[in-house]
Structure 1
């Protein structure tokens, strides 16, 4: 891979440029905000200009709702030979791309799974992170190979999924947990200051993602509404079951009674043990 066109010079787009430049890839930065493209160029992420001819791959690094029209525009302009994106929801994107007349044979949906706590571009932002790739049935092998090479050059680990499986997975591991964090944090608003002052590391861990951009996350959660709702329904059933058991304990005072509670805690510990660490083989 010699040339990459990055459309969108935000944190993710700029970080992709910084990562690729380490390997001698020529990167072009394209943004409707010329100042953002120049700022990314000043950081060393690439050249604030369009390529003279088609780049090997184009990275559409714009918010989810803009990906399909931006992709359609750049396919018509011939900015790159093949394309990928960085949106956190994939199945709706594929449908929207078709509706905009995009050529899906040159598209590999992409989703680098990094913390949105990153507020500044970094060349190592993707190191050891999973990066989902969601080719469709019509995706050409050239497009997939270029996307795989891009991910490897950025230091991430490719995870191949179909778009629907990807969206169910991120509902489980990211979208629904983030909403749960917001619900848990929101309950603090109506509590006395004396109660909030008792908050410790456990609550910080549980609510750690609640301070993300509300508009960004509302867009993503809405785009992935079905799978997220499925997760919430499952949690609601479990929560009501545990609440009934605990109500029984409160009435009876029988500390040996909460069998389901103990089972939930054991299952929680076992589930947490399945989460890969950055240095595990899944991330190398």
Structure 2
């Protein structure tokens, strides 16, 4: 239920693994587009399916689950909303069968929310959080875990409140900051906007998301987002005060202010290091691309030139050991959301590219990390 970016991507991944997938959406045009992409069928199922995937905004989850449980659409239900505690509490208030329900949240997405931007590999190597409650049956959780496996994701089990605090920090706050930063551009002079480079574009990248959907998300997780925003506001206040003293204070004030500003920036660098990838292993946010360099026109410097043309930043680069295998592949570590477009761009320029997980090393086999499971019958809603 819901054939936007996430719902259609789930359906594409399941259909690619041989799962009979039914598409349901209040917008018939979205269903037609998703079906045309090969995500499944618009025909209703003839009986209860194994799993219903509820891909609707957080405030619509409980109503949707209640409605389709009454219709006996499925034997198990999970959602993909980025808030977990509030929708579950609302399901309980509506009298939903909680034994057949488990909250879920795949940690993947994009700037746009429609089915045209859906991809079957959207969840590959990405965390997929599940928040089972005491009422959740073992079968319901197992079917949901199989869903994540079929989509190539990495299952993570968390308490609902722990999940909501985590995504407030690593997902909801960054989106809010991107939107607020983007709003500052409305008042910018035209000459200033022409100077905007990659730093600003990266900072506002996610601001293009659906404003209504994100207002729903933030409202549903208001307490957790508000708490981390208050902490950030305190740091912003300290930074503003330091800058004011640097601009208008005496020599002693400027010295203290400079130290405080440096401390704030240093803490930012230290925080960034906690999520930065490492060569020996890393978060699912990063992907190794292994690129063959085996000819005079396929040298590392030529590869770097083509990467630069693609306007994709590299996190790491590993050159082949010239004493062992001088013509071996070059390993490129990139943010997961840029791996697919960079791979396609390099292939268009004649490079042979393979992809693997951040922890698999620079020469992984294609499809690493995807676990197979028996065929299932699902409804992507």
Tell me the TM-score normalised to structure 1 length: 0.90
Structure 2, gaps ≥5 residues long: 276-282, 287-356, 361-367, 370-381
Q: Which moved more, 1:271-280 or 1:15-24?
A: 271-280
1:203-244 CA distance string (max 9 Å, x none)? 112222112111111111111111111111101111112222
> How much has 1:154 moved relative to structure 2?
0.4
Structure number with greater CO (CA < 8 Å, separation at least 6) is: 2
Structure 1, gaps ≥5 residues long: 1-6
Q: How does 1:102-251 map to 2 (within 5 A)?
A: 102-118=96-112, 119=114, 120-250=117-247, 251=249
Residue 250 (structure 2) aligned to one of 226, 249, 252: 252
Q: Which moved more, 1:9-18 or 1:69-78?
A: 9-18
Q: How far apart in 2 are the matches of 1:121 and 1:178?
A: 20
Q: Is the 8 A contact 1:50 1:79 kept in 2?
A: no
Which 4+ residue blocks in structure 1 deviate beyond 4 angstroms? 253-256, 281-284
Q: How does 1:12-31 map to 2 (within 5 A)?
A: 12-31=6-25
Residue 71 (structure 2) aligned to one of 67, 73, 77: 77
2:81 corresponding residue in structure 1: 87
1:67-111 CA distance string (max 9 Å, x none)? 111111111111111110111111110111112211111111111
> How much has 1:128 moved relative to structure 2?
2.0
Q: How far apart in 2 are the matches of 1:210 and 1:21?
A: 31
Residue 60 (structure 2) aligned to one of 58, 66, 73: 66
> How much has 1:59 moved relative to structure 2?
0.5
Q: How far apart in 1 are the matches of 2:213 and 2:193?
A: 27
**SS in structure 2 of the partner of residue 81 of structure 1:** coil
Q: Which moved more, 1:200-209 or 1:77-86?
A: 200-209
Q: How far apart in 1 are the matches of 2:36 and 2:182?
A: 38
> How much has 1:33 moved relative to structure 2?
3.6
Q: How far apart in 2 are the matches of 1:36 and 1:193?
A: 37
Q: How far apart in 2 are the matches of 1:196 and 1:31?
A: 39
Structure 1 residue 51 corresponds to structure 2 residue 74: no
**SS in structure 2 of the partner of residue 9 of structure 1:** coil
**SS in structure 2 of the partner of residue 51 of structure 1:** coil
